[in-house]
């Protein structure tokens, strides 16, 4: 029986993606779990597998095309339908074909007949909030489907036409000549930048943040790092040791290894830690798994692998999911202290500044030590102040007694 292959929700909250590449030719058979198509989101490249054995009867969208989540992208069927009337099969599934052919000569998907205007749910919501309907809005999505950018353009045009033209003001004596507007350039928003903006805006609006600050003396940690790098095949950074310390703090205070859901607080058994990476394609936060059981060298190796995948745009969706905490480090840029925004659904993010020399009092005497400033942003729905303070204390104790990292 013929069915439609639709764009899955490959990232939480995503409404649009790019159909990057087809992996199966038309009229070719495929088996269950075989990858059919590559979908690119703002942060990951995801292969979409087949649910069952079938035949790809027709591609409805070509490679490189923006597609809305839930939109049909192919017609699937069994071998007996390969020589059948594909247009009739599409019509039977509520999809008609009309208009100019696509780049590969196939008709474009237009709708389900009956004059219905096709628009994504997000586009309909944008239009509805502005008091508009999809009627008369030109769609630029697959088969003329109205997508977000079309709705936003229609809203802007409607607002512009509704603004009355103000009359020219009366002349003013000795009015100074207007200053010429200074030059500027505009950089269009990329999909990554739009996604980051939307996600962090939602985080600050929906998550009750609070912040804790601690400092840690890290001279012993730096000595340990030097010793490890003398024998390790993989160069270990301070950040690699910080990731390990964060995991051990979660082991010491397991109640903090949790996230908020609509129905419950979910407490994890293993410790997965996200690490912020300023990749060549934008900011991403891939997740390291089971860090509580990983040696510093293994953490360093996996982090380098994730950096490489991020720069190449080959992070899989599974690389970006999970974890209850992220670590973001701007110390390499000389930043002394900062507070970060939580990356939902995680419940905390640790902001790490630069290690700098400072005077400290040890046993009543003044000494010079290398001090690191740490700022923890916390979701108050999941973690209260006392729990966060206990977690920070466990982290600082581990950093100041770094042999714990090897236990």
What CATH number should be reported for the domain whose range is 3-111?
Answer: 2.40.50.100
Distance in angstroms (rounded) separating the CA atoms of residues 219 and 128: 59
For the beta sheet containing 3-6, the strands, ordered from the edge strand earlier in sequence to the opposite edge, are: 3-6, 72-77, 54-59, 29-30
Fold of the domain spanning 208-406: Chloramphenicol Acetyltransferase (3.30.559)
For 129-180, how does the pLDDT look when each residue is reduced to its tens digit (9 = 90+)?
787 888 778 877 656 678 778 888 888 887 777 655 455 555 555 555 555 5
Catalytic residues, which ones?
A: 380
pLDDT at 316: 80
Of the listed ranges 18-22, 98-102, 285-289, 320-324, the least confidently predicted one is 98-102
Nearest to 195 by CA among 205, 187, 203, 185: 203
Distance in angstroms (rounded) separating the CA atoms of residues 151 and 131: 12
Residue 84 pLDDT class (50, 70, 90 cuts): confident
- The domain limits of the chain are 3-111, 121-161, 208-406
Output 2 or 257, whichever has higher pLDDT. Answer: 257
The number of residues making up the chain comes to: 407
Q: Is the pLDDT of residue 10 over 80?
A: no
Output 31 or 125, whichever has higher pLDDT. Answer: 31
User: ∠ CA(245), CA(240), CA(407), 5° rounding?
Assistant: 45
Output 72 or 41, whichever has higher pLDDT. Answer: 72
Distance in angstroms (rounded) separating the CA atoms of residues 275 and 238: 13
Output 179 or 15, whichever has higher pLDDT. Answer: 15
Residues whose CB falls within 8 Å of the CB of residue 175, separated by 6 or more in sequence, listed in order:
none
CA distances to 250, 275, 294, 406 from 300, in Å: 19, 12, 10, 14
pLDDT at 117: 58
Q: Is the pLDDT of residue 310 over 80?
A: yes
Of the listed ranges 100-114, 131-145, 202-216, the least confidently predicted one is 100-114
pLDDT at 97: 59
Burial 261-271 (b: 16+ CB within 10 A, else e): eeeeeeeeeeb
What pTM, to 2 d.p., does this model score? 0.66
């Amino acid at each position: 029986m013929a069915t439609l292959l639709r764009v899955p929700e490959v990232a939480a909250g995503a409404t649009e993606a790019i159909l990057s590449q087809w992996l199966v030719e038309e009229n070719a058979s495929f088996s269950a779990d075989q990858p059919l198509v590559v979908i690119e989101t703002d942060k990951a490249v995801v292969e979409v597998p087949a649910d069952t054995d079938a035949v790809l009867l027709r591609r409805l969208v070509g490679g490189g095309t923006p597609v809305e989540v839930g939109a049909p992208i192919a017609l699937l069927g069994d071998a007996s339908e390969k020589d059948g009337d594909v247009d009739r099969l599409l019509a039977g599934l509520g999809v008609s074909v009309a208009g100019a052919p696509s780049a590969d000569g196939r008709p474009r998907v237009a709708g389900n007949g009956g004059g219905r205007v096709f628009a994504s749910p997000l586009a309909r919501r944008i239009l509805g909030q502005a008091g508009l309907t999809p009627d008369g809005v030109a769609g630029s999505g697959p088969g003329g489907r109205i997508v977000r950018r079309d709705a936003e353009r229609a809203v802007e045009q409607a607002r512009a036409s509704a603004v009355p033209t103000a009359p020219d003001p009366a002349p003013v004596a000795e009015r100074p000549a207007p200053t010429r507007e200074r030059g500027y350039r505009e950089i269009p928003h990329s999909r990554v930048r739009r996604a980051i903006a939307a996600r962090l805006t939602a985080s600050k609006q929906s998550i009750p943040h609070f912040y804790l600050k601690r400092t840690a003396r890290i001279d012993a940690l730096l000595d340990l790092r030097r010793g490890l790098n003398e024998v390790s095949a993989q160069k270990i950074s301070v950040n690699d040791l910080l990731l390990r310390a964060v995991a051990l703090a979660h082991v010491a205070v397991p109640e903090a290894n949790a996230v908020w859901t609509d129905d419950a607080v979910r407490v994890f058994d293993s410790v997965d830690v996200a690490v912020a990476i300023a990749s060549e394609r934008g900011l991403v936060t891939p997740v390291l798994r089971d860090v509580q059981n990983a040696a510093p060298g293994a953490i360093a190796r996996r982090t380098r692998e994730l950096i490489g995948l991020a720069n190449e745009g080959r992070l899989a969706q599974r690389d970006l999911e999970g974890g209850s905490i992220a670590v973001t480090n701007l110390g390499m840029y000389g930043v002394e202290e900062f507070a970060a925004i939580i990356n939902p659904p995680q419940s905390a993010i640790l902001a790490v500044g630069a290690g700098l020399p400072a005077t400290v009092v040890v046993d009543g005497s003044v000494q010079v030590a290398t001090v690191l400033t740490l700022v923890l942003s916390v979701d108050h729905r999941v973690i209260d102040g006392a729990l966060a303070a206990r977690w920070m204390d466990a982290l600082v104790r581990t950093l100041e007694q770094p042999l714990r990292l090897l236990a």
